[in-house]
Amino acid sequence: MATIKDVAKLAGVALSTASYALSGDSKVSAKTKEKVLEAARQLNYYKNGFAMDLKRSRTNTIALILTDLSGPYYSELIRSVQDVALSNGYDLVACSSMGGKGSTAVKYLREKRVDGAIVLAQNITDEILLNAASSSFPIIVMDRLTTGEGLISVVVDGELGGYKATRYLIDKGHRSIAFISGPANSYDNSVRYQGYLRAMHEAGLEEKAKWRLSGNFVREGGYKATKMMLMQGEIPSAVFYGNDEMAIGGIKAMEEGGYSVPGDISVIGFDDIQLAEYVQPPLTTIHQPMYDSGSLAGHLLFQLLNDEQVNDSYKLKVELTERQSVQTVVSEIKS
């Protein structure tokens, strides 16, 4: 690999002159510049990224950290962050936090291989985040409300979402509403559940313990939890799934059990993933403003990078997307 030294030598100029020429500094004469550029071309020379970053102590790159790069749910988010990064002249790399403490993501955070990061990865602990973040290394976290120096949070109002979903079912006449939850330690899950409870209490409805099952936010979990619920004999008229994935699994279990959706049981999800529109029946769900929140996170990150003042945390409103998995109940015997 050719270095700038080789280029300088070939061009017959000093190292620094070569450097100036290569970075397009105006103080080199056109002739010298051309000589240097020609030498670089001949040697197939390109700057060494690390050396540059080391010297500059800036990378012009931000990282987007996700639990699992392969999840399709983040499409919109990635797109929005990418747009913002691009328009600020920054590069974006995505890295996975799979592997926890030893993951690429944590390495990037700790070793400051980028200028800042947007994090959406449950398995990165608050401690790591708080430790890595500083005013010179801002981090935006999108899956919890943790804040600190250089660490701010952008979240979607999951409580409101849970409330809206449940309230919608109640308004449609449902009185017996089950909740299939995600992982117990998940922030998203707990706020959605809080919203569910608020709507239930407000309507004077009771949550039945037997209808509160966990599906771990995955399709298979929703399927199993639903099977289990169905086997218990008492069937709710509607089920609020903590996310769409579980709802899709749940619908499958219902159909296999001979229940039609929404004829026998109504279903509502959360997230509005791409698939929600395509499953049968199309899923009524709470739409997450992924593009907006990603965009906001990106903008905030750049504001912090420019030493501007911003709030500690932001909470975005959510809306319900009506499709066909919920039916109006005309009359039901109150339990």
Q: Which parts of 164-193 interact with DNA (CB under 7 A)? A: none
């999951």: which residue's tokens? Answer: 158
Is residue 184 within the footprint of its own copies (CB under 8 A)? Answer: no
Is residue 96 within the footprint of its own copies (CB under 8 A)? Answer: yes
* CB nearer DNA, residue 306 or residue 335: 306
Is residue 18 within the footprint of its own copies (CB under 8 A)? Answer: no
The stretches of the chain forming alpha helices (DSSP H) are 4-11, 15-22, 30-43, 49-56, 75-87, 104-110, 126-132, 158-171, 187-202, 219-231, 244-256, 290-305
* Residues ≥6 apart with Cβ < 8 Å to 54: none
Structure tokens at 89: 């002249």
For residue 75, the partner it binds in its own copies, DNA, none, with Cβ less than 5 to 8 A by kind, is: its own copies
What strands lie across the sheet with 238-241, from one edge to the other? 212-214, 177-181, 238-241, 266-271, 284-287, 319-321
Per-residue binder mask for DNA (CB under 7 A), 43-72, x = binder: --x-xx--xx-xxxx---------------
* CB nearer its own copies, residue 68 or residue 322: 68
Is residue 42 within the footprint of DNA (CB under 7 A)? Answer: no
Structure tokens at 223: 């399927």
Compute how many other C-beta atoms are within 10 angstroms of the C-beta atom of residue 15.
Answer: 13
Cβ contact 112:138 at 8 Å: no
Is residue 42 within the footprint of its own copies (CB under 8 A)? Answer: no
Is residue 260 within the footprint of its own copies (CB under 8 A)? Answer: no
Give the sign of the dihedral formed by CA 181, CA 187, CA 191, CA 192.
negative
Among 24, 27, 30, 44, interactor with its own copies by CB under 8 A: 44
Among 10, 28, 65, 118, interactor with DNA by CB under 7 A: 28
For residue 136, the partner it binds in its own copies, DNA, none, with Cβ less than 5 to 8 A by kind, is: its own copies
In DSSP terms, which residues pair with 156 in a beta bridge?
316
For residue 23, the partner it binds in DNA, its own copies, none, with Cβ less than 5 to 8 A by kind, is: DNA
Is residue 131 within the footprint of DNA (CB under 7 A)? Answer: no
**Residues 176, 179, 184, CA angle at the centre, nearest 5°?**
155
For residue 28, the partner it binds in DNA, its own copies, none, with Cβ less than 5 to 8 A by kind, is: DNA
Is residue 274 within the footprint of its own copies (CB under 8 A)? Answer: yes
Task: Identify the DSSP state of 153.
Answer: E
Is residue 72 within the footprint of its own copies (CB under 8 A)? Answer: yes
Cβ contact 144:155 at 8 Å: yes
Give the nearest distance from C-beta 71 to DNA in angstroms.
33
CA distance 183 to 307: 37
**Residues 105, 107, 113, CA angle at the centre, nearest 5°?**
95
Is residue 334 within the footprint of DNA (CB under 7 A)? Answer: no
Query: Does the N-terminal peptide bond of residue 183 adopt cis geometry, omega within 30 degrees of 0?
Result: no
For residue 318, the partner it binds in its own copies, DNA, none, with Cβ less than 5 to 8 A by kind, is: none
Is residue 279 within the footprint of its own copies (CB under 8 A)? Answer: yes
Is residue 17 within the footprint of DNA (CB under 7 A)? Answer: yes
Candidate ranges 89-97, 164-172, 316-324, 327-335; the one touching its own copies (CB under 8 A): 89-97
Is residue 1 within the footprint of DNA (CB under 7 A)? Answer: yes
Binding residues vs its own copies (CB under 8 A):
1, 44, 46-54, 59, 61, 63, 68-72, 74-79, 82, 86, 91-96, 98-99, 103-104, 107-108, 110-113, 131, 136, 274-275, 278-280
